[in-house]
Structure 1
Amino acid sequence: MLWAQVNSCPEKFKAYNAAGQEVTQFCVGQPIRFKSCLPNTQPDKEYYDFDKSNNVSFSTDTTKIFTYNRAGTYTITQLINTGQIFQNERTFVVVDTPPPVFTVTACAQNQVRVTIIDSNYNNFLVDFGDGTKQNLIRGASISHQYSPGTALKVVVIGSYTGATCTRQAETTVQPLPAPAAPVLESIRITTPGTAGTLALSIKNLQPEYFYILERVVGSSTTLIDTLKNPANTTLNYTIKDINTANPACFRLRTTDRCGSNLNVTLANICSQPLTATPGNNQVVLSWPFYREGGNLENYKVYRNGTLLQTLPANITTYTDTDVVCGTNYCYQLTAALKSNFSSVSIESCALVTTTNAPQAGFLSSTFTPNNQVELNFKPAGNNLPKTITYQKSQNNSPFTNLATSDKTTLTDANSSTNNGQLCYQAFFEDNCGKASAASNTTCPVLIQSTLNHDGTLNLNWTDYLGFAGPVQYFLEQVDTNGSVLSSSPVTGNTFSQKMNTTNQRQYFRIKATGVNPTEISFSNTVLVQLESKFALPTAFSPNGDGLNDRFEVKGQIYGNFRLQILNRWGQIIFESTNQQQGWDGKIKGQDAPVGVYVYSLTATDGTGKNITQTGTLTLVK
């Protein structure tokens, strides 16, 4: 009978908390009462050692309640006298009771997600504070949705299996703001090819949310990336390994840490390929329709960074004929979408070629102020000359090559006007190696002058050749710097006039004008040079009768004038540097004696020639 009783209590003794509940794990700070589970045990015959690790010893005290202050594994030893003395052992684990560790994540629509990350407790009770409670185990998660306006407060109570002690922790989180629709502002092809790249510009992001970027093919989608809690409201995102020759469409879905389906999805945005194909003096652009046509407003075609054309949404090709052979043009297409969104192609470039010879250009000619012919060549249309060959003819001789240049302006340094009229023409080779026909022939006006002995000037000139319409002529007199002193319209090819002797050196030219205000050509400039002519009297009578009262130089002298009067002893009694100021017959205010005097005249004419003349004069009364 005694054997049966012993085997019904194999532990020999048990542990109880303050409420009398049996426990197999203890908590730090929790009073534990140990008691034999054998029947008919006398308490005064029962002794305990509460920690075998510091040597077993039994005091005469029969205390059976002990509180552990440190977590760990303890071996408890019982000494009992039931008629026979027995020593029994049991091992118990004492656990600490720190606050349970968990995370609470705020999600959209007043949701929270609680995740247990604690490594101490075995069991957890989650209390959401609104009457909802849920038991969890380590590592488990649970989501809960609060009613609007309810505080998002979560209490978690941790407990151990076999122990009755618990510990709780609580936290309150702020609800998330309402989700806003993200903005896929633009998509741009940045690297072409079968493994090319696209650049997405994304705006209106919220750091509290996740964004799922997906590629859309028909009705199916493929995950590209999940953008978690973006740090900024804007993001530039690169998509790699895309065949940019074909349109690729993408969308962005909004979710949160709870994986909520928020039904906040942006309209798809698609890449826009572009192909540029060179043709005969043209470039043909083509592209596929924008995949999401309902969002398309128009297409914008750019050439070398400048807007070339805006096209309706139903157009998928454009031919650029405003091109120059041998020139490389780069094009970019922008699909202008609603709300100022855009899809931009990669630059597609084409080198223009041709099988046609370029049209002949237009050549004009004019004399410069230093009497050299300046030629100005203008290619027809958009032709861009690679080299221009200028040719020259004089006095109706055959044209011969004058120079080959890449400049549209050329000066003929050997523009002699003594061998007849000068005429010119030009042709060019474009960047495709095609040669044009010869341009028009242009001949600047050639003017010649004759000065007669009577002082009459005769001018004659040739017609200007080169303007498309009628030509009007003007006779211009200019100064040494080419500034116009006078201008008069003339007809015919000759002009005569009496010379004005104010200036010894006078310059004349013909100005030819066409219908177009820019059509202006000048002839060579001719110099008409007058001789210095003057006379001095041999006698004068300074008697105040108004006749021959002064000794002065008559005629035209043009510069550096100096007149001196000397007496018979060679003394200078009068000197003047002004031709209009002659000798009045006085010496220091007194009448000079009647008699013979010597004069000396020096001067310079307009050509720089020195004039020197001496002689005698007689002063009479």
Structure 2
Amino acid sequence: MQSKVLYHLSKLIKKAAYVGLFLLIGLGLQAQEVSQKGWFSADFDFGCRNLTITITHTGVNSGDLQFNFEGDPNDPFNLFFDPNPAGNSGNFSSGQTRTFTYTTPGTYIIRVVDLSNTGSPADRFDFLTITVLDRFSPSVAARICSNNEVRLFFDYAFDPFESFDIDYGDGTPIVNFVKDVNANNASTPHTYAVNGVYDITVTGIFSTGGNNADCNSVTIRVSTLETIDPPILNAITVVDQTNISFDYDPIMDGLLYFLEIDRGNGFEAFADLDPLINPTTITVEDLSLDNNQETYDFRIRATDICNSIQANSSTGSSIATDFSLNNIDTTIDIDYTWNTSPDNFTQIDFFINNTLSASFNEPSSTIPHTINHTNCAQLLPFFFQTVTNGIVSTSQTLTPFPNSSLVLPATDAPLAELVGGSIQLTLPNTNFPLGEYQILRRDVNATFNQIATTTLSNYIDTTVPQGTAEACYQIRYTDECGNLSMISQEVCVIIEAKLGIPTAFTPNGDNINDFFTVTDGIYNNFQMLIYNRWGSLVFQTNNPSPGWNGTFEGTEAPSGSYSYRITFQNADNSRVNRSGTFVLIR
């Protein structure tokens, strides 16, 4: 209720400041308000909406006067006196009165004009400024003390009132509490004869203003008390390294509540609990906390505003938890640890993925709880939980090695073999389910660089750069969660072309010596030309494999002697030229 009062009051005060009402209020606190020239008087010159004002012709100007209650402050000498709404304009004589009710907040001028029609407008007009405020409530809050005492606290920053009528709702006379104009706030006590529930009504009073009854009063319901019931702390949940959340039964408006912590040297202040902001729960951040390693005791303390009596909740303890890698080879072995207070301890439960996994009878893990996981998919969120003094305490929820941060062991080195003009790799088995292999190569470059990824167990490298005499390979792999392994040992292949040329071949389709070709190797800028016995070119290629199959223009070439001319660049980029003869046998 207090928050609503302050919110509405702040809006109204801003509006009042916009139209200059504060100054007008300060100037208008007089017993009877008199116009500038004294031709008429008013019983009030400010008040709340639906303000009824009565003006009286004083006789200072003995002639008849025409009046206008809702005069425009920006056009005060306008001779048009609007008759609407009813009673807004008219005439009156010495001693007569006229009454009008303002229904809309704002600043108005009551103006009268001498009907003699002589003199300038400034000589003929007289004015009185009227300020009409919107409805609003006094800014007041109630706080409860023991022995059925209640204290009302007033915040004057939002109150234009001069005093307050207080009805305590117990049949005692209404009390008028006068504002101290030199103070920003104040309080006043009241003691009830009988414990119970009471409605306190506070009405703001303008001692010389108008229409107090139509200014909103505020009603506050209080429950007096002779003693304070202990607060009930229900749950303590560690959120992360420095944040802890607390759940408790609704706390009572009118009392003061404090969350306290014991770090090992006795209880001290940790957080204030506001019934309006934190009625049943609060999360507190404290950068000095170490919720992975340290446990702390907590309680809620309640006291009255007079600090004459207090009560404490039961004490609960937080749970510290952490994990570490014990070993990783064919399984991922994780150590899980916990720590909580031994006071009134009975049992602590261990949950993985919100499912109970184990229970322990020790408040602290002198020996870690180790679990052997066969793959990364088993590294699920976990937490510990215990109940002490009726308070459920839960550790923070952690996931071992999240975000693919686990380092896997290396595999064996791959097998590498020169096949034709390429290098074929046979990749080893992995210890954990495969995501992908990553293949690294060292060639003419002195360092290893990743050249490919694959999910297959074999890989053929056809991209060895020119001038490479030896290609070396390492591999690493990711598992299904994206964790990356260490790098394997290297394996190297000598790929310098040592040219081997057959002296005969038998292209008869038995898959034995069916092609005339060179031995395996990587031949840069390779060219092979084959001529028949008459010197005619019958075959040419730039690919060392598979070679010539013994045909010419789609027909089988005859048996006999043929010659070849082969050129290429070796690994050191030196030019190699070879020529000779061979026999085609059918």
Output the TM-score relative to the length of structure 1. 0.38
Report which of the two has the higher share of strand: 1
Bigger Rg, which one: 1
Structure number with greater CO (CA < 8 Å, separation at least 6) is 2
Task: With the length of structure 2 as denominator, give the TM-score of the two structures.
Answer: 0.40
